[in-house]
Chains A and B, each alone.
Chain A
């Protein structure tokens, strides 16, 4: 959803600590995917847990997107589950956990007292299981459901749901029929049909799409002649993927009516601004928290500084405000479909 920029260089920031706090709150407040958010910055699923409250004020995060819970218990993948790349990391964790019943009894309650909107991420192997989980997890305190469709579909020989328009549409429609909570659909970047799959999500009842999950990749340790991950292949994340995901957010935001949440390689407040300019209504921040445990706070501070330096009074002014000299945005996006 690309908005027209209403940037006004004449807006002034009030002086004094109280005024500054009020201005900061007003600057950061936004709405996304059916939720009112204190800030457009939230952790990405799988990179956040309550243990983070040892280093920062979890209550101040835009939303708490929890680690994906699965239909049944899963042991997860063999180690090594992570390996380093030159500008990011590979992971193949394998969604370990006790299943959604254990999650709702033991894990979810740990997140309900913070006050930030709690977004529950679900994954399943069949369409019906997705629906059952969405229904069971429509609980007091849960603000939205993020549907992780990047997992293998056992009804389609293990091909990930998010690789297919029809499979994604089936899952989203089933979840839509099973809950009245806002639905965010987290899509995979490992497809050439991302925009169509995002549109299928929208048309099946999604309130937002999260662009995107990790990029399928692998690493090899030449001296030992072995893969660097126990599972051989895994997902690439971190700053290495930011330009790719930024492009995908731009392409999707220009075609969708629902909100796009950008997720890929954000390291700084300016990175957030770039995603917002590309059309994201909010962002998820993941891998950088492994390197800089208080990154979510730093990035928010940097975004505030950026907005003030550019005389924006609200982050919403940035959303879709990309200016392309000599082009309207729609013309530029249409050109993306033409091979260079």
Chain B
């Protein structure tokens, strides 16, 4: 059984909805008390209004970008890519938006005062907003590597700035987002002080890099994944991802490296209720 609050579907007032550049929009919504208890990495299922390209029938899963419990609002950062997000972009202040949640299993936050590494790219940064705040509140120090196509495409950095954490920005446009360079950077950084936890979202390339780095071997690592979704509750089995489950025997499992998890065989898990956050090796270990 879930320990957190039960999801609620409700029509809520839009406080603001603004274009923040490069096709990204930021919407702030008045939320109900239970919904404000959403944990980092959890998502809401949004019933998008009719936009320029017409109505959308299904809801759209959207990870929480920010929560303000004192002022009672919740924020989403989204990129306009299709019918549903075009509908979201049409929202005006005082319009109502039907949101359902919080849903899914979020990030596990370490209690200690270790050093956490966040590596995210593009719209994946939207998922990391509540996480970075949560990590800092728990007493962790955070180092973030944020990857973008070019400096003009920077988005989702406000929670990192508010939390006062160290951010390395890397870009495709100057080659600094190249994985081999990033691998060396993470290796150098971990020599200064080893990382106690790793979080990633938004790039398969970066996830694969993190999973394979020797300096992060054995460090608890989590990834938030996306999948096309219908019900959001685990009923329809649409949003599955292949996962490699560690073998049951601790002796056979050894460490949780990729080579070990691969031996355990592949199954699928539902992103909506068993995710969207999974162990990094559980996901990457299945990739060809």
Contacts and interface: CB of A to CB of B under 8 A. Distances in A.
Interface of A: 46-49, 51-52, 54-55, 67, 75-76, 79-89, 91, 93, 96, 238, 289-294
Interface string B221-244: 000000111111111111111000
Contacts of A48: 235
A104 B231 CA distance: 24
B121 interface: no
A294 B47 CA distance: 14
A75 B268 contact: yes
B233 A87 contact: no
A82 B236 contact: yes
Given A47-B236, A79-B240, A87 B57 contact: yes
A51 B233 CA distance: 6
Given A82-B58, A291-B47, 6 more contacts: A51-B273, A54-B6, A81-B238, A84-B57, A93-B236, A294-B9
B35 to A, nearest CB: 13
Residue of A67, A238, A291 most packed against chain B (CB within 10 A)? A291
B253 to A, nearest CB: 22
Given A51-B235, A54-B7, A83 B228 contact: yes
Given A290-B59, A291-B47, A54 B233 contact: yes
B57 A76 contact: no
B9 A82 contact: no
A52 B227 CA distance: 20
A84 B83 contact: yes
B100 interface: yes
Given A55-B6, A55-B9, A84 B235 contact: no
B71 to A, nearest CB: 27
Contacts of B83: 84
B203 interface: no
B234 A51 contact: yes
22 contacts: A46-B235, A47-B235, A47-B236, A49-B233, A51-B234, A52-B235, A54-B7, A55-B9, A75-B268, A79-B238, A79-B241, A80-B238, A81-B228, A82-B228, A82-B229, A82-B230, A82-B236, A84-B83, A87-B57, A293-B100, A293-B231, A294-B9
Contacts of A291: 47, 57-59
B57 A91 contact: no
A91 B228 contact: no
A238 B55 CA distance: 14
Contact of B238 (A54, A67, A75, A82): A82
B16 interface: no
A49 B270 CA distance: 13
Contacts of A83: 228
A94 to B, nearest CB: 9
Given A75-B268, A79-B227, A86 B9 contact: no
A67 B180 CA distance: 46
Top 10 A-B residue pairs of the complex, sorted by shortest distance between their CB atoms: A82-B238, A290-B231, A51-B234, A81-B238, A49-B235, A80-B228, A290-B230, A51-B233, A82-B230, A54-B6
A195 to B, nearest CB: 30
A96 B88 CA distance: 33
Nearest to B60: A84
Given A54-B6, A79-B228, A86 B57 contact: yes
B234 A49 contact: yes
Contact of A293 (B2, B9, B56, B58): B9
A54 B230 contact: no
Contact of B240 (A81, A87, A91): A81
Contacts of B234: 49, 51
Contacts of B239: 79, 81
B54 interface: yes
A54 B55 contact: no
A235 B232 CA distance: 19
Indicate the member of A47, A83, A84 with the most B CB atoms within 10 Å. Answer: A84
